[in-house]
Amino acid sequence: DLFTIWGILQLLRRYPGRVPDLDLMFDCVDWPVVRAHLYRGEHAPFIPPLFRYCGDDRTLDIVFPDWSFWGWPEINIKPWDALYKDLKDGNSKGKWFSREPYAYWKGNAAVATSRQELVKCNVSSTQDWNARIYTQDWFKESKEGYKTSNLGSQCTHRSLMPLQHYWPVRDDNKCASIQYAVDWGNSHKQLAQRIGKEASDFVQQEVNMDHVYDYMLHLLTEYANLLTFKPTKPPEAVEVCPESLVCQAEGTEKKFLMESMVKSAHDSGPCDLPPPFNPQELTMLKQRKENSIRQVEMWERRASTT
């Protein structure tokens, strides 16, 4: 992917001479495929080191920053620094209690079964699950210049991001679970606002390009340290540099490349990695998450019987 390559080139500009030589496999498809249960036990096969944009608790794919941090010109999503400013400005335009009291989602429903199921939760003439689902019409949006794809203008709905940062929604009973979440938020507005603020504060404090680049450098360095061979450049390799990518780009694509270009090298950094969690800490974190989810499920069951 162009913007993934661009992101790696910007890492090289930010930390010149500090990114090690390495070989890696990168899968640009979103969903993870390295199933953890297939690599357990004494005689389990070696885990394939496959990089991709997404991961979950059931898979072992190596998660790499999504290319949209550097922009998604096809749907007019700006590079993260500019997008973050738009999100912050959009979030400040309306007061929390004046926002529309619904769960909100907009995106491409065709890429996953779970999203297609989510569309069924949209308001209809016979049912209102307190959800407002907007399916991205790619053809219409492209003709109109993706004017309604601006994420910064989509902050009019009350976000229900729960017990601390998000509200868990059951996958097996999605519509009713969304309806309960919205009902809970509307009847506990201050608590819902606090949860939303926790999530917003986390994004503002933790999600920034400094951390993205530092994560990339730490990840690639640790990965390179595990290689048991010396990487060499294959004869058919094609050299890529920032100038060649920018020269080939046009329009919004070129604009986003220029906006996301690292302006100067960093002599210091990256940030220090915190020590890894020990097994007891991991167990406690997992239990805390599971307890919160069970709590919400219990509330849902209780509400459905009253």
In the DSSP assignment, the letter for residue 173 is T
pLDDT above 90 as % of the chain:
44
Task: Give pLDDT tens digits for 4-48.
Answer: 999 999 999 999 999 999 999 999 988 899 999 999 988 889 999
| Average pLDDT of the residues in 229-233 | 93
| Average pLDDT of the residues in 186-194 | 89
For 113, 127, 168, 171, 206, the CA distances from 122, given in Å and listed in that order, are 15, 8, 18, 16, 32
Count the Cβ atoms, other than its own, within 10 Å of residue 182. 24
Residue 220 has pLDDT above 90, yes or no: yes
Residue 281 has pLDDT above 90, yes or no: no
Alpha-carbon distance of 204 to 81, in angstroms, equals 11
User: pLDDT band at residue 162, thresholds of 50, 70 and 90?
Assistant: very low
Q: Answer whether 265's CB lies under 8 Å from 33's CB.
A: no
Q: 106 pairs with which residues across the strands?
A: 134
Q: Which residue has the higher pLDDT, 259 or 145?
A: 259
Secondary structure of residue 50 in the 3-state scheme: strand
Mention every residue, 6+ apart, whose C-beta is less than 8 A from residue 249: 257
**Per-residue b or e along 2-17, where b marks 16 or more CB atoms closer than 10 Å to that residue's CB:** ebbebbbbbbbbbbee
| Average pLDDT of the residues in 47-74 | 93
* Residue corresponding to tokens 């100038």: 243
Task: Give pLDDT tens digits for 81-96.
Answer: 999 988 888 777 777 7
